Amino acid sequence: MKSKQRALAEGQEQDAVILRYSTEELEAVTGASEAELFSFVEYQPEEAERVGHSEYSYWKSVWKSFLKKKSAVVMLIIFLTVFVFSFIAISPLCTKYSHYSELKSSRSNKFATPDSEYWFGADNIGRDYWYQVWYATRHSVMLAAIVGVGEVLVGVVMGLLWGYVRKLDRIFTEIYNIIYSVPTIIYMTLIALMIGKTFLVMCVSLIAFNWIYTAKSIRNLVFMYRDREYNLASRCLGAKLGTILTKNILPYLISVVILRMALSIPQTIGYETTLAYLGLLDVKEPALGLLLRNSREHFINYPHLLIFPAAIVSLITVTFYLAGNAFSDAADPRNHV
Amino acid sequence: MNKNEKDAILSGRERNVILSARDVEVQFSLRGDRLTAIRGCSLDLYEGETLAIVGESGSGKSVFTKTFLGMLDANGSVTGGSILFEGEDISRFKTEKEWKRIRGGKISMVMQDPMTSLNPLKRIGVQVEESIRLHQGLSGAEAKREAIRMLDIVGIPDPERRYHQYPHEFSGGMRQRVVIAIAVACRPRILICDEPTTALDVTIQAQILDLIRRLQEQFSMTIIYITHDLGVVANVADRVAVMYAGQIVEIGTAEDVFYNAWHPYSWALLSALPQLGIKGKKLPTIDGTPPNLFNKITGDAFAPRNRRAMAIDFKVDPPFFEVSETHKAKTWLLDPRSPKVEQPASIRQLSERMNQDYGSGLKHPHQDPNRVPVITVKDLQVTFGSGRKKFVAVDKVNFEIYKGETFALVGESGSGKTTIGRAITRINPATEGEILFKGERISGKISKEVDQKVIRGIQMIFQDPLASLNERAKVEYIVSEGVRNLKMCKNSAEREELVQNALREVGLLPEFASRFPHEFSGGQRQRIGIARALIMKPEFIVADEPISALDVSIRAQVLNLLNELKGTYGLTYLFIAHDLSVVRFISDRIAVIYKGKIVELAEAEELFRHPLHPYTRALLSAIPNPDPAIERSKKLLVYDPAQHDYSEDKPVWTEILPDHFVYGNKQELNQYRGML
Amino acid sequence: MTPSRQPTRQGPANNETSMIKYTIKRLLQSLLTVFIVVTIVFLLLRLMPTDYYFTEDELIKLTDEQKEDKLRAAGLLDPTLTQLGRFYFNLLTKGDLGTSRRISNGQPVLELIGEKFGISMRMGLIALGIALLIGIPMGILQARYKNGIFDHFGTAYTIFINAVPRLVAYSLIYMLGVKVFKLPSMYSVRDPMRTSILPIVCLAVGSIASYALWMRRYMVDDLTKDYIKLAMIKGVSTRDIMFKHVMRNAFVPMAQNLPVTFLLTIGGSLLVESFFAVPGMGPLLTRAITRYDTNVVQALVLLYSGLGILGMFLGDLLMSLFDPRIRLAGKGGETR
Amino acid sequence: MKKVLALVLAAIMILSLAACTKNNNTPSPSNSGTNPPGNSSNPAGPATPAVEEVKDWVHYLTQVNEMETFNILYSQANKELQVLTNCIDGLLSNDSYGNLVPGIAEKWESADGGKTWTFTLRKGVKWVDVNGNEKADCVAEDWLWGLEWVLNFHKNAAANTSMPIEMIAGAGDYYNYTKDLPEAEGKALGIDKLKEMVGIEATDDYTLVYTCVDRLPYFPTLTTYNCLYPAAPALIEELGVDGFLACTNENMWYNGPYVLPTFVRENEKVMTPNPKYWNPDCKRFDSVTYKMVESGAQAYQMYENGELSYVELTEDALNTIYQDAGHMFNEKLVEARPTKYSYQIHLVFNKNQEDGETPDDNWNKAIANEAFRLSLYYGLDAEPYLARINSINPLKCANFCYTMSNLVNFSNGQEYTERVMELLGITPSTEVYARYDAEKAAQYKKQAMEELAAQGVTFPVMIDYYISGSNSTALDTAVIFGEMISENLGDEYVKLNTLTYVSSLANEVRKPRKASIFINGWGADYGDPQNYLGQETYGEDNAYYSTAYSNANDITDEALIAVYKEFTKMVNDAKNITDDMDKRYEAYAQAEKYMMEHALCIPWYVDVHWQLTQVNDYSKIYAPYGIQTNRFVNWETSKDGYTTEQYDAFAAAYAAGAGK
């Protein structure tokens, strides 16, 4: 109809374009007779009400808007590929070893550069580096994931309380100051000395010293949402604190929570490397941090020992960070159309 | 320009077009989808006139004018049409250099929110001076002098001192004056005012409107005034353009549009005004919501909501039909082939209907000997913070609300009206005094039992339909929340039924229960909010500005609903508002509150007829009327709290007539008595 | 850096005295926090077995009785609270934080820190300067040409630096610097210029990224504000808007974090200083902990938390200078 | 403000960059010496063509080896002593073969077969301050002040009292006496009480007499150890007791070959010759610089750039150079002399489980079984392990004795450990690892498995082995070690379980008895096998290894106790032979043989590493005991660095000179 309109828009006058349609034209366009066209239609108020609705599901929309961001999808695919591949790479498909303990040193192969047998070369005592790197990848990603999830869980619960219960503000602020103003390394060292440094202890202590940052950002958000009218409404309707926190506030924090997760994985792997450097890491099984630390002894002469784990670490952290960021954007309903 | 010249222009004898937009189409791309915000808009702007563009939110009125300044957001662009200004098609402008020739010096703009439109880190004077330097070529002391003069012109007292202050040291109204000073200091030919008073209190709004009118004369500007408020339109406009769904649907002089509108949408808008309603009767409403502009629209965009739509309205976009030389409307109703229709009665009678008395047939609650108070507020005081930061929001307030009445509390923002409402619903604790609900104390520490009683008995409706619903919960949950919290039903089936009934009650489809709030229009959301309160079967509802955030067309729905429910369930309302004109339509008694104190309380008509307190009178004088004739001749009263001298003669809360209370000292009371 | 902290926005207040009162209150609160932090670390250290007091060698050679004698002589067998009391008593009356035992035997801790902090601070400040000089303009340019090629490169850089563990980044810099640019890998007091290059580069890469990131973010935020629109409507050129409006406004939240960053340069960087053998403060803390040099640990914690909290305070103060809306207290303008 | 400051800083930075490019051309200090060639005078060295000697030596240490104290009487650690030995001289020193040579004492003798020892001091020895200004004469009483400091509980916070207490008459009493004094009084003590109670006497300024608890033929060797070093009373006076304990390079006094004017913690220290040194004729460097590097890799990097005078090669550097015949350093790979430490696998006889409390019965039963121990003793082919230490000549690192080599010789010139190996029937070889005997091992393994199974021991027996968490080299070695055990003895039998500790082996592992084995080295403090075997005896408090490592005193197995008792008896018998040194040593050798045959401990390796160096190691002092190693005197150096060939020649010449 538009082109038609344009074509007819010749008798221009001021203020508005005044068009004239002849009956023939109208009938041609609409396929209805003049009488039909110019008769009143029964008014349907329900139809009016219905206008503009669509089927909406929160998570579907999250996915939809996430999938729209092609680069983020690519990042997620890379991340997942790397993670899944860390399982495949140490499966019989790619390697002859079935367990880490089967890796054997070999004096003739030490510092071997990558070749068809040793895809990532061999380390300083001649062990296959491919297997080690992928094994470590899996290990580190799991650690990071556990810490990330744990940190976010604790952080969210505490953050909600911190933000909503005014009496607790002082205490939490003090805790924040205590954790924030003393380098985490002190705590980590003390814990390693006094308790140990098993995988479990690592997870728990990393969570113990990082949740506060999540909690802090959650708290700031809760401050934003706390006095929104819908919370007042819930209070008028007799909602308990727990209900308000879980039903009214928590759902709004999803995107922030995801963002924290996205940040915490690179952060955890970063911590891992620092802890390995300080000797605060369990050495039973290789972690990426451990490989990176070990490679520091040799990387000047044998760069492949640094490059492979570094590349994979970077790949994981960067892709997860980007994908996480995009997902966090997508989780924000303001970005749903 | 004097009145004669203006009339000359309006009558079309000397039409000097300053800006001419033709078929402007604006599209935005949003995450891959294209939204057509302006669908072929044409407009001629005459030199020296004030054109008001009126429309609901989303109608594209702001976007349209932004194209004149090249100020569209980055994802939007003019995709069709032309805008001729001073011989150039400015819609073709690409570079900043080109736009710089236009912006400020030729066309300038005043934005809606004065709180955010000034740079918080720069001194007021410097920000004004920036315009002066750029467009008047002045510098140094001269520029400063001019800036101070501009501040003076826009009515900022003590401009020399104010020059050095920062925006946060100014009130909203003062900031808007500064913004206007900045815009006007550019000496533009055209000044676009984009809802410049929406965020301001009524009394301030009236002053700003006055100011703009004065400046227009002083600096010979042409003004485009964007607003959704027909009262404001009536006040300022020479000509009015009504926009709907990205199109202008009717354009004409103010008189044309107000007294002789022809587009069904214009009719709907006007007749839905509470000011034009008859107390105790339903307001005509517009159902539904504006169309989704992401979709392709065939025919008249208003057709689905139009009670007099013809088949052709759904099929072919109507052209403009000329009603008179100055008046055009875009509706098939004007086509000679269409059946003859008359304008609705309310439109025809607009001029007669305005400002009539609501008559004597109304009930006078004070004459009812059996009235029982539902809520009694005694010496209520609410303070926030403590010590140095202490702030008294409500200061020794007394009133009673009787069963079955609608009690209105009117005041400007920050007056404490909302706080009173929240004190009654126990959101804000009362610092002193007490509140009784059916004779039982509900303020301070109360037993769990009483608490439950309060939750069931007193419910609240909130101002902002966006903020008052939890967007991450389904309607079902939102509506049933109170039922869940108080475990008022045995199983989920029962609950579901309650929810569906409540939805039906407020005129929503039961199937909406499974949807999320953001799928609904403002009016629908507000109705969800009402359903949520209603499901508790309350006796008393605090309605905190339930319609002030809604578009005109939707207000009527909500007001009708509230009135209807009151009849059905014998509800009692505390209706909090800042707008006296709405209140007059809905309420039985009105209390006027100023800075935490109730200054006057009376039956609605009594208050309108005999306003005593100077603040009430100022407030009444500032109400915008959707009638150009009245608006143009009205006289504004300004309230200055300094006029009271309470140093010796202490004020008291006095019942000056039966059920007419006023706050004043002896001398004032005597004076008031004289006025009766 | 974590610019998420918001200063408390105060309503208008009365006069100069309340300003002073408020400042004192803030300072007292800060002191309390420092006190809590130091006390907690003090108590944590006391939780460790006392045998950590001895070197490996001593543990072999000393009899249990001898060990006990020595612990008693060092006051470590006293009740923890007595020890704590003594610590604060000495600190408050004599400014004495004790002597080091394992880092530098018998040397007063303050002297030990005194000889080290200068170098960390010098290096940190140079790196900070560079980071500001590069990071801020980078952020500005990114914001100015948002979504341009430079912006994409800048964002890629910031993401890489933020996501990749520092150890990896430093190793790569080390490798490049030593192998390709033939730079010395070890800091030397005799040739501080050349030998500082690599550590300073390492220190700066991270801060450049975060300054660029935050500057860009704040500016992009500010660019959507109404007052920028008003300035555009006024006809102010984009350049002027950038420089006269956005940049300054965006700089305010950055300024808040400067004092902390500035002060904490004293702390040095653990990894960088270890890598390049910079004789600074960075590795001191972990070394002191692992050697159970309690006095050194306590002093360092006192220093770090004190500086951190002082920095936050100064940050708020600085911000209140930049931003007229924020007053620590007092001098509020009239609001109506 | 900040902006301005930042600008200034940036300007400085740019200037500094500019300056750097200029600096580039000036040679680094370590290479700048211009020494006239041909004044080499080392008797051991072959006739070499004119070489340019190093005038400014640049040494390196890793950062963890930073000095914690400058007080030589307090210091217990090599990291300090290797520096301080250049600053302060004791009575005696060593030559490059490890023989005692005069230091400040010109001569020393015992009239009564080793109970009292008289040292005659040289005249004209001066204490100087850091600038080389003369402060005082160094006289016999200074040794009394030194010993007083060591023995005084309130002055000396260190643990080096044990040897003086064991050996010097009255020393223990004096220690206990001071301990009972109030602190202030103890600190105020002079040497009067010491003279009265302890067997030390300065008969005149230059004669010093020690009285030992018993006849101790090896007593003079103890004087090279820092617990018998002098202290200048005037300095103690000047600094006060606390100040002296915490003395620094700046306020301490020197009487050794160098003074240490520059000290930057964890970065570098520079020593310059002491102008008032009593032996101005000894060859010293114009300066000695210690650089505190982050890692071996960094040290190699620095050697490559000419910033160091020698470097011990890390495995990757060695590998690179060795594999590449054209490498610039290929011909300069030289093997260092073995370090003085003898490393053993110490078996833990009373071990706890990982909680550090519950006894680990499985392990304790297994290790108490002699067949089990012997299967480990014979069954481990250490070659792969040794290759971790020396990848080119692994078997050079083989160690078959508990005592270190070159500690003492029989009068016929036979080296003590050679005699032990003779007794054990081991002939070191460069082809195979001499102790490995697969057949014997298999036999013992079978026996052990049968016997232990009967006792309810479950297999595989886990060997909990702890390494430092921050040490990646140790981790790799542990991996090899584990593979080696698995290959040699079979996974079904024993298995290595590698664990880590954070900072303190003693606190985290040894005290809670969490480890099954320790691999540890021991260097002698004085020249007698007692210093080794005495550490392993049963039921004696000062036997460090039995008390602190193997927990032998808590053994419950009767058979094993009997073995230990027999061994202890043999050692004590040997200890009591003081008149005939050959007999004494033979008795020790027999005890050591007994120890090996019952596998109470498994000798493991000695450290022979590869290096690039500008010094002839064979010209350095060799100190089997005491602190004289790493004294920078009389070093033969070459600026170009020595080649493999040259070093072979040095080694040959040294061997020829031995026993002379």
For chain D, what are the domain ranges?
67-246, 355-606
Q: How confident is the model at residue B546 (pLDDT cuts 50, 70, 90)?
A: confident
pLDDT (average), residues C95-101: 86
Structure confidence at residue A7 (pLDDT): 34
Lowest mean pLDDT among A106-120, B210-224, C271-285, D547-561: A106-120
Chain A residues closer than 8 Å to C175 by CB: 299-300, 303, 306
pLDDT (average), residues C177-197: 87
Distance, in Å, from the CA atom of D251 to the CA atom of D232, rounded to the nearest integer, reads 12
> Is pLDDT at D263 greater than 80 in this prediction?
yes
> Is pLDDT at C48 greater than 90 in this prediction?
no
Size of interface C-D (CB pairs under 8 A): 156
Nearest-CA distance C240 → chain A (Å): 31
- List the domains of chain B with CATH numbers: 3-237 (3.40.50.300), 259-354 (no CATH)
> Is pLDDT at A211 greater than 80 in this prediction?
yes
> Is pLDDT at D474 greater than 80 in this prediction?
yes
Structure confidence at residue D8 (pLDDT): 41
Structure confidence at residue A278 (pLDDT): 81
Structure confidence at residue A15 (pLDDT): 47
Structure tokens at C13: 């207040």
Q: How confident is the model at residue D3 (pLDDT cuts 50, 70, 90)?
A: very low
- D501-548 pLDDT, tens digit per residue, is 887 888 888 888 999 999 988 888 888 999 999 999 998 877 888 888
Return the SS3 of B383.
strand
More confident residue, D12 or D501: D501
Nearest-CA distance B535 → chain A (Å): 10
Selection from B434, B372, B335 nearest residue B572 by Cα: B372
Structure confidence at residue D228 (pLDDT): 93
Query: B85 phi and psi, to 5 degrees?
Result: -145, 125
- D332-347 pLDDT, tens digit per residue, is 999 998 888 899 999 9
Q: Nearest residue of D to residue C132 by CA position?
A: D6
Using the structure block, give the residue that is written with the tokens 């005037």.
Answer: D234
Nearest to B312 among A19, A37, A236 (CB): A37
Q: How confident is the model at residue B465 (pLDDT cuts 50, 70, 90)?
A: confident
Asked if A174's CB is within 8 angstroms of C33's CB, the reply is yes
- C189-240 pLDDT, tens digit per residue, is 888 888 899 999 999 998 899 899 888 988 888 888 888 888 888 888 888 8
Query: B68 phi and psi, to 5 degrees?
Result: -70, -20
pLDDT (average), residues D20-42: 37
> Is pLDDT at B14 greater than 80 in this prediction?
no
- D186-243 pLDDT, tens digit per residue, is 889 889 999 999 999 999 999 999 999 988 889 999 999 999 999 999 999 999 998 9
User: Would you say B170 and B203 are in contact if contact means Cβ atoms under 8 Å apart?
Assistant: no
Distance, in Å, from the CA atom of D370 to the CA atom of D367, rounded to the nearest integer, reads 7
CA atoms within 13 A on the CB side of B328: 21
Query: Is the domain D67-246 a CATH 3.40.50.2000 member?
Result: no
Asked if D242's CB is within 8 angstroms of C283's CB, the reply is no
- B548-566 pLDDT, tens digit per residue, is 878 877 888 888 888 888 8
Return the SS3 of B651.
coil
Q: At what angle do helices A169-181 and A129-164 cross, to 10 degrees?
A: 150
Structure confidence at residue D365 (pLDDT): 93
Q: Mean pLDDT over all residues of chain D?
A: 87
- A122-181 pLDDT, tens digit per residue, is 888 888 888 888 888 888 888 888 998 999 999 999 998 888 888 888 888 888 887 887
In this complex, which chains have at least 3 CB pairs below 8 Å with chain A? Answer: B, C, D
For chain A, what are the domain ranges?
2-49, 60-335
Structure confidence at residue D208 (pLDDT): 95
Q: How confident is the model at residue D121 (pLDDT cuts 50, 70, 90)?
A: very high
Structure confidence at residue B224 (pLDDT): 94
Q: Nearest residue of A to residue C176 by CA position?
A: A300
Structure confidence at residue A56 (pLDDT): 64
Structure confidence at residue B387 (pLDDT): 66
Distance, in Å, from the CA atom of D92 to the CA atom of D484, rounded to the nearest integer, reads 44
Strand spans (E) along B342-420: 373-384, 391-402, 406-410
Structure confidence at residue D256 (pLDDT): 94
Asked if C304's CB is within 8 angstroms of A278's CB, the reply is no
- Give the CA distances from residue D395 to residues B553, D113, D531, in Å, rounded to whole numbers and listed in that order: 97, 41, 26
Q: How confident is the model at residue D30 (pLDDT cuts 50, 70, 90)?
A: very low
- Ranked by mean pLDDT, which of C6-15, D468-477, D526-535 comes out on top? D526-535
Mutate to test the interface with D, among A123, A125, A190 (most CBs of D within 10 A): A125
User: Would you say C301 and A186 are in contact if contact means Cβ atoms under 8 Å apart?
Assistant: yes
What does the DSSP 8-state code read for residue D284? B
- Measured between its terminal Cα atoms, the distance across chain C in Å is 38
> Is pLDDT at B363 greater than 70 in this prediction?
no
Chain B residues closer than 8 Å to C320 by CB: none
Query: B384 phi and psi, to 5 degrees?
Result: -110, 150
Nearest-CA distance B482 → chain C (Å): 36
Return the SS3 of B560.
helix
Residue B438 gets the label, from left (phi > 0), alpha (psi -120 to 50) or beta, of left
Nearest-CA distance B147 → chain C (Å): 14
Q: How confident is the model at residue D285 (pLDDT cuts 50, 70, 90)?
A: very high
Distance, in Å, from the CA atom of D44 to the CA atom of D619, rounded to the nearest integer, reads 7
Chain A residues closer than 8 Å to C289 by CB: 186, 189-190, 193
> Is pLDDT at B618 greater than 70 in this prediction?
yes
Q: Nearest residue of A to residue D301 by CA position?
A: A300
Q: How confident is the model at residue B56 (pLDDT cuts 50, 70, 90)?
A: confident
Structure confidence at residue D344 (pLDDT): 93
pLDDT (average), residues B197-216: 87
Peptide bond just before D36 cis, omega within 30 deg: no
Q: How confident is the model at residue A51 (pLDDT cuts 50, 70, 90)?
A: very low
Structure confidence at residue D564 (pLDDT): 94
pLDDT (average), residues D271-286: 93
Judging contact as 3 or more Cβ pairs under 8 Å, the answer for D and B is no
Q: Nearest residue of C to residue D300 by CA position?
A: C185
Structure confidence at residue A48 (pLDDT): 57
Structure confidence at residue C10 (pLDDT): 41
Top-tier CATH class for D355-606: alpha beta
Domains D67-246 and D355-606 are alike in CATH topology: no
- D482-497 pLDDT, tens digit per residue, is 999 999 999 999 999 9
B174-186 in b/e form (b: 16+ CB < 10 A) is bbbbbbbbbbbbb
Asked if A233's CB is within 8 angstroms of B532's CB, the reply is yes
Selection from B668, B639, B640, B674 nearest residue B654 by Cα: B668
Name residues whose C-beta falls within 8 Å of residue B330's C-beta, 6 or more positions apart in sequence: A16, B247, B248, B249, B250, B263, B300, B318, B319, B320, B321
Asked if A178's CB is within 8 angstroms of C36's CB, the reply is yes
- The model carries a pTM of 0.81
Nearest to A182 among C41, C178, C270 (CB): C41
Distance, in Å, from the CA atom of C202 to the CA atom of D548, rounded to the nearest integer, reads 44
Helix (H) or strand (E) holding C61: helix C56-61
Q: How confident is the model at residue D40 (pLDDT cuts 50, 70, 90)?
A: very low
Chain A residues closer than 8 Å to C166 by CB: 270, 273-274
Q: At what angle do helices C247-264 and C294-322 cross, to 10 degrees?
A: 160
Helices (H), B329-394: 345-348, 350-353
Strand spans (E) along B86-126: 88-89, 107-110
More confident residue, C41 or C320: C41
> Is pLDDT at D31 greater than 60 in this prediction?
no
pLDDT (average), residues A19-42: 76
> Is pLDDT at A8 greater than 80 in this prediction?
no
ipTM exceeds 0.85: no
- Touching check for A171 and chain C: CB below 8 Å? no
The domain made up of A60-335 has a fold known as MetI-like fold (1.10.3720)
More confident residue, A114 or D565: D565
- B22-42 pLDDT, tens digit per residue, is 999 999 887 678 888 899 898
- Give the CA distances from residue B623 to residues A142, B286, C140, in Å, rounded to whole numbers and listed in that order: 66, 24, 48
> Is pLDDT at C7 greater than 70 in this prediction?
no
- C104-162 pLDDT, tens digit per residue, is 888 889 888 888 888 898 999 999 999 999 999 999 899 888 888 999 999 899 888 88
Structure confidence at residue B543 (pLDDT): 92
Structure confidence at residue C331 (pLDDT): 37
Residue D468: beta bridge partners?
D501
The distance between the two most distant Cα atoms of chain C, rounded to a whole number of Å, is 86
> Is pLDDT at D127 greater than 60 in this prediction?
yes
Distance, in Å, from the CA atom of B588 to the CA atom of B574, rounded to the nearest integer, reads 10
pLDDT (average), residues B238-250: 92
- A276-311 pLDDT, tens digit per residue, is 888 788 777 788 888 888 888 888 888 888 888 888
Asked if A293's CB is within 8 angstroms of D317's CB, the reply is no
Which 263-302 residues of chain A touch chain D by CB within 8 A?
A: 277-284, 293-294, 296-302
- Touching check for C238 and chain B: CB below 8 Å? yes
Structure confidence at residue A33 (pLDDT): 79
Lowest mean pLDDT among B364-368, B534-538, D105-109: B364-368
- A310-326 pLDDT, tens digit per residue, is 888 888 888 888 888 88
